[in-house]
Structure formats: structure tokens, C-alpha cells
Amino acid sequence: MAFRPHPKGRIMNPKPHDETTRHSILNGTLHLALDMDGTLYKGSTLFAAAKPFMECLKTHGITYTFFTNNSSRSADEHVDNLADLGIEARVEQIRTSAHATVDYLKLNYPGVKSLFVVGTPGLRAELYQAGYRLTRAKPELIIVGFDPSLSYTDLCKAAYWIDRGLDYVATHPDFVCPTDQPTLVLDCGALCAAIEAATGRAPVATMGKPHPIMIEGILKRRQLSHSQLMVVGDRLYTDIAMANAVGVHSALVLTGEATRADMANSPFQPDFVFQSVAELGEALTESFRSTQQR
């Protein structure tokens, strides 16, 4: 797909939207689903554009939810992490793959009350708060998440129950977790691959991006129509794929993983592409201004 460069140098229109449609999309956006790592910060470094962007959203009355595949932290812990980076957030503004997992369980396993969890205290806390009994003895379902202090015994025990016929749900598909340390951090997908190799059984479902349930939960809780929500993220095959699957608008920022070259070969296309969230803020401001002048 060919992209028309914006006069300021940004690629503005990957999807074939005309100027009127672009303004209409931006003006109709009431809520942003914001990816975090690669979009607002990298590792422990907040992007310079992040704080002014959040101020811009407040100015325009646009609300937002931070969403992440990282189920190892509870919502409370994500709030603390954002605060450490200098971004204010409330617990209800956080949606993790653990929340998506709870939504999935309530819908597809309404009778299940007890879980065996391979995961961090943060993940266990979210599931416990959602009303599940966490047990090692006679669980009804297995949950596999990311766990940097993984217990080999727990992994074996999970495989045992799965081999005996219990279903298991993965909180997210990622095989490795980004790190700046000289190591490879095995993520949820890699743990599930080990279980599958041992038992011959794959997870019945894998939550997290790009599963539509991540966004559907935000639409439902906030009572938003599809046209009122925009996904903002740095990955085509997770953030943008999810937006495309749900049928909501999306903006790709080039501060993380995806590059312009990636876009040419991707089946997942955003409505907008910006160098950073700063340009998204400018586009929102420009769009609102032009509407007011009409």
C-alpha cells in the first residue's frame, strides 16, 4: 500500500481516508486505548512527548485506558509503575491481559470457581479479586501467565493437570519479554510451548493483544461505540491487528517496534501513523481547531 507523506513529514493516511474523514475520525474520538511500552516510554525511560500528550488529552476532554499484555503486575502495580515514570493513572484506567482473562472465564467457563495459576503474585491477586479460589489441589482450570520467578514444580504441576484433561488459558501470546539485560526472558508463550510439548495440548484460548477481548472490555465498560475509541500503539501485529479485528480506529506510533518498512508488508493497517504521540496530539488539536473555525 502506498502512503501519502504529510507536509510536515509524517505519514498521515495509510488507510485511504480523505481529509474530511480524517478530521471526522479524530473529532469523533472520545477515548484512547493506549499501549505503554514503546508508545509512552521505553523500559524505564519516559518519552519527552508523553506528559505533554497526556495534558493535551485532558485539554480536549479525551479519556483513556492504558492496556498491556503484561499480566505479571496487578493493576495497582501498573499504577505505581506509571507513577514512578511520572504518569498519573487510576486503577480503573488500567486494562491488562489478566482482566481480559477474567472476562473470558466469566463468559466461557461460568461454572469454574477454582484455578491453578502459573504466574506472579500480581496475576494471582487479580484472579483472586475477581472471585476465584486459587488452589494446587483439584483445580477446575489452569491459567498460565508470565512469571519471572517461575517455579519448576508449578510448571510440572500445571502440565500434570493439563495432561489429566483440564483446559488451560494463556494470559498472552508473547514468547519473550523485552529486556536490556544480557539474557533472554522467556514469556508466557514459551511456557505454554513447554507445556504443549510435554502434554500435546495447546491453550484453549490466548488472551492479551491481539485478542479482541482486550478492547471489547473497554468498549463495554465505558459504554462507547466503536467509532468513539482509538487504539494507539507501536506494534502492527498486536496493537493494530487488534484494532482491525474489533473494527475500531487506530494510530501507529514509530517510537517503538514498527518501522515504515514493516508497514509495507503488513496485513494490519492503522488509520494514522505518527512519529510519536506528540504528533497525534498535534493532529487532534489541529482537527478540533479546524472544526471550531467552520
Distance CA 83, CA 273 (A): 27
CB of 69 to Mg ion, least distance (A): 9
Residue found under cell 472471585 = 131
The closest residue (CB) to Mg ion is 38
Kindly tell me which of 38 and 139 has the beta carbon lying closer to Mg ion: 38
CB of 19 to Mg ion, least distance (A): 29
187 catalytic per annotation: no
CB of 291 to Mg ion, least distance (A): 30
Kindly tell me which of 23 and 235 has the beta carbon lying closer to Mg ion: 235
Using a 10 angstrom Cβ sphere, with 0-12 exposed, 13-18 middle and 19 or more buried, the burial of residue 15 is: middle
80 catalytic per annotation: no
Residues lying near Mg ion in the complex (CB under 5 A) are found at: 35, 37-38, 234, 256
Give 243-275 as a 3 state SS string. HHHHCCEEEEECCCCCCHHHHHCCCCCCCEEEC
Kindly tell me which of 35 and 126 has the beta carbon lying closer to Mg ion: 35
Enter the C-alpha cell of residue 292.
471550531
CB of 18 to Mg ion, least distance (A): 29
Catalytic-role residue among 37, 174, 239, 271: 37
Buried b (16+ CB within 10 A) or exposed e, 186-212: bbbbebbeebeeebebebebbbbbbbb
Kindly tell me which of 31 and 235 has the beta carbon lying closer to Mg ion: 235
Q: Which residues are catalytic?
A: 35, 37
